[in-house]
A and B are shown apart, each in its own frame.
Chain A
Amino acid sequence: MTRLSKTQYDLRVFAASSVYVALVIALLPHARHAGDSTLRPIYALVPVLPLLYIVWLLGRRIWQSDELEQRTHLIGLGVASAIVGVFSLIGGFLAVTKAVPQDTAPMLLIWVFPIMLFSYGFVQWWTARHYGGGCDDIDGLPAHYRFIGLALLFGIVALWAWLGKADASAAVVFAGFAGAFALTALVFALRRRRRIGSGEE
Chain B
Amino acid sequence: MNNKVRELRGERGWSQGDLADKLDVSRQTVNAIETGKYDPSLPLAFRIAKLFRMTIESIFQPGKD
Contacts from A to B (Cβ < 8 Å): 65-69, 128, 130-136, 138-139
Which B residues fall within an 8 A CB radius of A? 16, 24-29, 31-32, 35, 37-38, 40-41, 44
Shortest 9 CB-CB contacts between residues of A and residues of B: A135-B28, A66-B25, A135-B27, A131-B32, A68-B29, A132-B32, A132-B31, A131-B37, A132-B37
Query: Which among B25, B28, B41 is the interface contact of A132 at CB below 8 angstroms?
Result: B28
- Residue in B24, B25, B38 whose beta carbon sits within 8 Å of that of A131 in the complex: B38
State A134–B27 Cα separation when bound (angstroms): 9
Also in contact, A134 and B31, with CB within 8 A (given A67-B40, A67-B44): yes
Contact B24 A66 (CB under 8 A): yes
Q: Which residues of B contact A133 (CB under 8 A)?
A: 28
Distance in Å from the Cβ of B42 to the closest Cβ of chain A? Answer: 11
- Chain B residues within 8 Å of A136, by CB: 28
Q: Which chain B residues border A132 with CB–CB below 8 Å?
A: 28, 31-32, 35, 37-38
- Give the distance to chain B from A130, nearest Cβ to Cβ, in Å: 7
Contacts of A67 in B (CB 8 A): 25, 29, 40-41, 44
A68 and B38: CB pair below 8 A?
yes
Q: Which B residues are in CB contact (< 8 Å) with A131?
A: 28, 32, 37-38
* Residues on the B chain within 8 Å of A68, using CB: 25-26, 28-29, 32, 38
Docked complex Cα distance between A67 and B20 (Å): 13
Task: Report Cα–Cα, A69/B25, bound state, in Å.
Answer: 9
Q: Closest Cβ of chain A: how far from B15's Cβ, in Å? A: 12
Residues of B within 8 A of A134 (CB): 28, 31
Tell me the bound Cα distance from A136 to B44 in angstroms.
20
Minimum distance in angstroms from A163 CB to a CB of chain B: 43
Most buried by B among A66, A136, A138: A66
Instruction: Say yes or no: A135 contacts B31, CB within 8 Å.
Output: yes
Would you give 16 A-B contacts (Cβ < 8 Å), ordered by A? A66-B24, A66-B26, A67-B29, A67-B44, A68-B26, A68-B29, A68-B38, A69-B29, A128-B28, A130-B37, A131-B28, A131-B37, A132-B38, A133-B28, A134-B28, A134-B31
A126 CB, min distance to chain B CBs, angstroms:
14
List B contacts of A139 (CB < 8 A).
26-27
Name, among B25, B29, B37, the residue most crowded by chain A CB atoms within 10 Å (CB to CB): B29
B16 contact set on A, CB distance < 8 A: 135
Chain B residues lying within 8 Å of A66, measured Cβ to Cβ, are 24-26, 29
Give B25's nearest chain A residue, CB to CB. Answer: A66
